[in-house]
Each structure stands twice: as structure tokens, then as C-alpha cells.
Amino acid sequence: MSSRKLFVGGNWKMNGDKESLGELIMTLNTASLNDETEVVCGAPSIYLDYVRSKLDQRIGVAAQNCYKVPKGAFTGEISPAMIKDCGIEWVILGHSERRHVFGESDELIGQKVAHCLESDLGVIACVGETLEEREAGTTEDVVFEQTKVIADNVKDWTRVVLAYEPVWAIGTGKTATPDQAQEVHEKLRGWLRANLSDAVADSVRIIYGGESAVFGNCKELAAQPDVDGFLVGGASLKPEFVDIINASS
């Protein structure tokens, strides 16, 4: 058993409204949750303040994105300073939808990681290959390169959770097997060991994201030695999110 505390993130993406999120928050607040597992919900930015004011303090809240400077003429963006001002502790960065739908580069994601950590926010940093990249046999190259740019911008790894989210398993119904997830997680941990230190490799949580977390195999996934929890999309909006949190113990 590793000493790493399990981490389960919910990524609500651009879903919900005050009514439906309020109901979900009630479900989470009244649920019996395993306190060995750290739980964080990623809310749409306009609802961050609302969610933080309603959600029980035992559950963390994350923004799903932010910009790389404290303030200025950047219409439509939010800064880590604003996120902190709303009492929020975490930010999800580099999600594949940010990379592929909004064209965020490794470089920009790295700059955001650096600024969020300097601003004393925790970072859930996402990496993952597309189906074409996996089929071309470049999974390792892709996730190592993405991880390197993140790592170049991290001074303090205690505030970082790494999320491996194969793009082909996000919202597609395609499932990565526990073996497939473990294989990449093990390689990522090996990369951290070879390029950073034993201490970082042993302590950083590497969580798995993708549809398979909801397909009844989260227990099996969490039992893999290098899988330290999940980043859950669609299912984190449903009451079964509670089962995923509790199944990972």
C-alpha cells in the first residue's frame, strides 16, 4: 500500500445550473464519504463562489481553468488571485478540452501552472494522448513531453496532482482497462523518478480520468499500485459520484 492519499476530482465541465448543482451539493453534503479520500469538485467559473458557499468544507472546490497573470486587460479570463479570493483551493489545468477545443499549447499550460502555484493554489495538471497518437505508438512520448513542460514549471510538488486522461476515453464510452491505465501511470511515475527525484515520484498522486471510471471498474482501477484516484467527468454530476469516491478506498 502506498502512503499517497487517494484523490477523487469531479469535473463538472460546462454543465448544471444553480438548481441542479444545488441538488448535487445537497447529495454530497449529506453523503457518508470516506475520509481517507480527498475530494475536489471542479465547478464552472461563474458558480465557483456559489458552490464554495454551499459545499461542505470537507470537499474542496476547483476552477476548471484560469489565466497566467494576476490581473489586467484580458477580457473573459479569470486569475488565480480571483479564484483564491472566492475561497477556492484548486485549479484544473491542461485538460484535453482546453488543449484540443481551445488550442492551449504546452507552453501556455506551463505558464499557468507556474503562476497558480506561485499564487498558492493547488493544481490538477492533465496529460493524455489522442487515439491517433496511441495507435501510432507515441503515447509515452506525448505524455512525457506534456509532463516535462508541467514539471519545468513546478517548484513545489506537494500542491500538484497529475491526471492521466487518455483523450480517447473521455466522454466516448471507450474504456481503458486497469492494465492500460496502470501501464501509463507506472511509466509516468518512472519519468518523475528519473527526471526529478524519488521523493517526488513516491509522493505525487497520479489519478486516472476517462469514461471507464464509471463503468464499474473503479475498484479495480484504484487497486492498481500507481493509480491514486480519479478525475471524473459526466458521472461526477450524478449521485453515483459518491459511490466512485467510496469505491476507491
Residues that bind ligand PGA (CB under 6 A): 11, 165, 170-171, 209-211, 213, 231-235
Q: What angle do CA 15, 21, 24 make, to 5 degrees?
A: 120
Of 201 and 231, the one with the shorter C-beta distance to ligand PGA is 231
Of 201 and 207, the one with the shorter C-beta distance to ligand PGA is 207
Closest distance to ligand PGA from the beta carbon of 234 (Å): 4
95 belongs to the catalytic site: yes
Selected catalytic residue, list 38, 129, 133, 165: 165
Helical axes 139-151 vs 178-195, angle rounded to 10°? 40
Written as nine digits, the cell of 127 is: 496529460
Closest distance to ligand PGA from the beta carbon of 168 (Å): 10
The rounded distance, in Å, linking the Cα atoms of 234 and 214 is 9
Selected catalytic residue, list 38, 95, 97, 115: 95
Of 15 and 195, the one with the shorter C-beta distance to ligand PGA is 15
Closest distance to ligand PGA from the beta carbon of 209 (Å): 4
183 belongs to the catalytic site: no
Of 165 and 226, the one with the shorter C-beta distance to ligand PGA is 165
Q: Which residues are catalytic?
A: 95, 165
